[in-house]
Amino acid sequence: MAARVQPLTKRPASKRSVWSALASDYNKVSKLHLHQLFAGDPQRGERMAVEAVGLYLDYSKNRVTDETLRLLLRLADESGLRERIDAMFSGEKINITEKRAVLHVALRAPRDASILVDGKNVVPEVHSVLDKMADFSNRVRIGAWKGHTGKQIRNVINIGIGGSDLGPVMAYEALKHYSERAMNFRFVSNIDGTDFAEAVRGLDPAETLFIISSKTFTTLETMTNARTARSWSLAGLGNDETSVAKHFVAVSTNAAEVAKFGIDTANMFVFWDWVGGRYSMDSAIGLSTMVAIGPENFRSMLNGFHQMDEHFRTAPFEANLPVLMGLLGVWYNDFFGAQTAAVLPYEQYLKRFPAYLQQLTMESNGKHVTLSGKEVTRDTGPIYWGEPGTNGQHSFYQLIHQGTRLIPCDFIAFAKPLNPLQRHHDLLLANVFAQTEALAFGKTPEQVKAEGTPDWLVPHRVFEGNRPSNTILAEQLTPETLGKLVALYEHSVFTQGVVWNIDSFDQWGVELGKVLAQRIISELESPAEPILNHDSSTNTLVRRYRKLKEQQ
Ligand code: F6P
């Protein structure tokens, strides 16, 4: 079924005019230094900041003028962002290549909300799954759900990959402070056997519960790990098949495959095809998160997501956090030619946040054709990367400060620490503020000379500055704040996808490798020498691997 939202080919003329206006603006703004922009406007740091739903975004240290912002907002308007937001929230099939609605926002809608997909309100079903998850999580947490031998479950292992892993791992790490410390939570994703072997090391199968998380329940990595888990569990439980019911639950959209695998569908938590894998950490895919932090904290995370959803849906674009961040990203990506963007959380618990964002941003916006299948005329999604501060400062920040590339950075910090130890937090926050200041304003040759630096050393010690950043400051990392933060990036990715006129919700780019791997598996495993019809490089690698393997 065709989406009601028309591909933006309907609006090429006006869109082109704003792009060319932005290109002229870039010619002016790229010659300006942030220190001039700040000197010319003493209120800039207060003016170019927005606070919404408890997140404060300071975007003043970006290489933009009021005119740039005006044009970027016009770009959003002319790209039809308002209509596309409405289309997403009302359940239209905006994922046009998969003919699916995109309704992660329904996962966090309040119980009394109504969101229709094909004429059916999906919110009651969302809450019924949440209730089932809460009941299960409580039973596991208090020890009412026992293992096959009657022992309490102490270890929960989530097996999944991509969106069925990165969200759960990131959320567990981010919210570890709120987690049940008497239990262990581990995550297996890689098909590399080491991942599984290390995850179960030292664990007692009688105390171990596996959550097999897979939207499709056909993903090679997950199914391979799930079968290995089944063998490991059965081997430790007297090979009694009835133990599976106590040690395996599934999270999926595919009941038939779950049953085929041997998990009772009574122990299955469902979600729906209108939830993309990378947008699913707040669906049943978050079951391990809920067991770890408890249903109340999970609901408070959903509430945080919902607050940001409502902000995105209703706030005027000039005061809309995801819209502003998304547009600034477009500005650097398409006008400054920035190839990457760094996300730098100054919060150790967010150590997996950049990895999570990599799938969210790059699987969503790494696209080369528009909604109508034409080659894009602008660069799309940048490469996202990052590490928590201050570790990154002693590693790659050198390049951000003095290298030849422009890397827009998002700094994320919290006013109140979860582990207040002596002066640690003030020192941490001093580093955040110092980094954004140094990046923006740098240090001139005159300043370096005035410090008594010998002439030959001066160029090495100069910081040209003018390196842009956003700072996101919140009160404290709580489940609610995490929900807001994730939704902020989800909607910022959406904003960019609308501007680029691409489908941010499909992921055809991961298919080819999967298909080719299937073909190669039999060539690696066949006892007889296979006839190979690949290119000469792949053929040689296959032969070499087979030979090395035989020598073991
Ligand atoms: O990597 C491709 C992908 O389809 C992701 O989008 C998804 O999150 C991941 O694989 C896992 O898929 P599934 O949950 O179906 O196992």
- Residue whose Cα lies nearest atom 6 of ligand 1: it is 277
**pLDDT at position 14:** 62
pTM: 0.96
Q: How far apart are CA 461 and CA 483, in angstroms?
A: 41
**pLDDT for residue 5 is more than 60:** no
**pLDDT for residue 399 is more than 50:** yes
CB environment 493-512: b (16+ within 10 A), e (fewer): bbbbbbbbbbbbbbbeeeee
Q: How far apart are CA 279 and CA 88, in angstroms?
A: 13
pLDDT one-digit tens code per residue, 240-270:
999 999 999 999 999 999 999 999 999 999 9
Q: How far apart are CA 459 and CA 117, in angstroms?
A: 61
- Active-site option among 363, 480, 490, 523: 363
Index of the ligand 1 atom closest to the CA of residue 216? 15
**pLDDT for residue 10 is more than 70:** no
Please tell me if the CB atom of residue 208 comes closer than 6 angstroms to any atom of ligand 1: no
What integer is the mean pLDDT of 217-228? 97
**pLDDT at position 552:** 61
What integer is the mean pLDDT of 398-417? 98
**pLDDT for residue 239 is more than 90:** yes
514 labelled catalytic: yes
**pLDDT for residue 12 is more than 70:** no
Return the beta strands (E) in 390-506 as ranges: 409-414, 469-474
What integer is the mean pLDDT of 31-48? 98
Give the H/E segment covering residue 269: strand 268-270
Count the Cβ atoms, other than its own, within 10 Å of residue 307.
19
Q: Indicate the DSSP class of residue 505.
A: T
Please tell me if the CB atom of residue 278 comes closer than 6 angstroms to any atom of ligand 1: yes
Please tell me if the CB atom of residue 222 comes closer than 6 angstroms to any atom of ligand 1: yes
- Active-site option among 120, 416, 514, 549: 514
Query: pLDDT tier at 15 (50, 70, 90 boundaries)?
Result: confident
Please tell me if the CB atom of residue 216 comes closer than 6 angstroms to any atom of ligand 1: yes
